[in-house]
Amino acid sequence: MRLLLVEDDPILGNGIEAGLRQAGFAVDWVRDGASARLAMETNDYELLVLDLGLPRVSGMDVLRQLRMKGSDLPVLILTARDTVRDRVSGLESGADDYLVKPFDLSELVARIRALLRRAHGRSSEIIRYRDMELAPRSLTVTRGEETIALSGRECAILVDLLEHRGTALSRARLEEGLYGWNEEVDSNAVEVHIHNLRRKLGGDLIRTLRGVGYMIPKDCA
Pick from 119, 140, 170: which residue ends a domain? Answer: 119
Half-sphere exposure of 203 (CA within 13 A, CB side): 0
3-state secondary structure of 176: helix
Q: What are the tens digits of pLDDT across the range 6-34?
A: 999 999 999 999 999 888 888 999 999 99
Which pLDDT value is given to residue 49? 97
The C-alpha atoms of residue 200 and residue 186 are separated, in whole angstroms, by 21
- Please give the residue that has the higher pLDDT: either 4 or 44: 4
The 10s digit of each residue's pLDDT in 42-53 is 888 999 999 988
Domain stop point among 97, 119, 141: 119
Beta carbons of 51 and 59 less than 8 angstroms apart = yes
Helices (H), the chain: 10-22, 33-42, 59-68, 84-92, 105-119, 152-163, 171-176, 189-201
CATH number assigned to the domain comprising residue 198: 1.10.10.10
Query: Following CA atoms 184, 185, 188, 189 in sequence, which dihedral angle do they give, to the nearest 10 degrees?
Result: 100
110 and 33 inside one domain = yes
pLDDT digits (tens, 9 = 90+) for 87-128: 777 777 888 998 988 899 999 999 999 999 888 877 788 899
Query: In whole angstroms, what is the distance from residue 34 CA to residue 52 CA?
Result: 13
Say if residues 190 and 171 touch (Cβ distance below 8 Å): yes
pTM higher than 0.85 for the full model? no
Cα gap 45→183, rounded to integer Å? 16
Q: What is d(CA 202, CA 129) in angstroms, rounded to the nearest whole number?
A: 13
Question: 132-135 and 140-143 as β-strands: parallel, antiparallel, unpaired?
Answer: antiparallel
- The DSSP bridge partners found for residue 215 are 207
**221 within a domain of the structure (yes/no):** no
Residue 73: inside a domain, yes or no? yes
Q: Which of 67, 94, 119 is the last residue of a domain?
A: 119
Range of the domain at 101: 2-119
DSSP letter at 77 equals E
173/85 Cα distance (integer angstroms): 40
What does the alpha-carbon distance between residue 103 and residue 198 come to, in Å, rounded to a whole number? 39
pLDDT confidence of residue 221? 43
Half-sphere exposure of 117 (CA within 13 A, CB side): 15
Same domain, 172 and 84: no
* pLDDT tens, position by position, 125-183: 889 998 999 998 888 999 988 999 998 889 989 998 998 899 999 998 888 878 777 66
Same domain as 25, residue 103: yes
Instruction: Give the up-direction half-sphere exposure of residue 211: CA atoms within 13 A in the CB hemisphere.
Output: 0
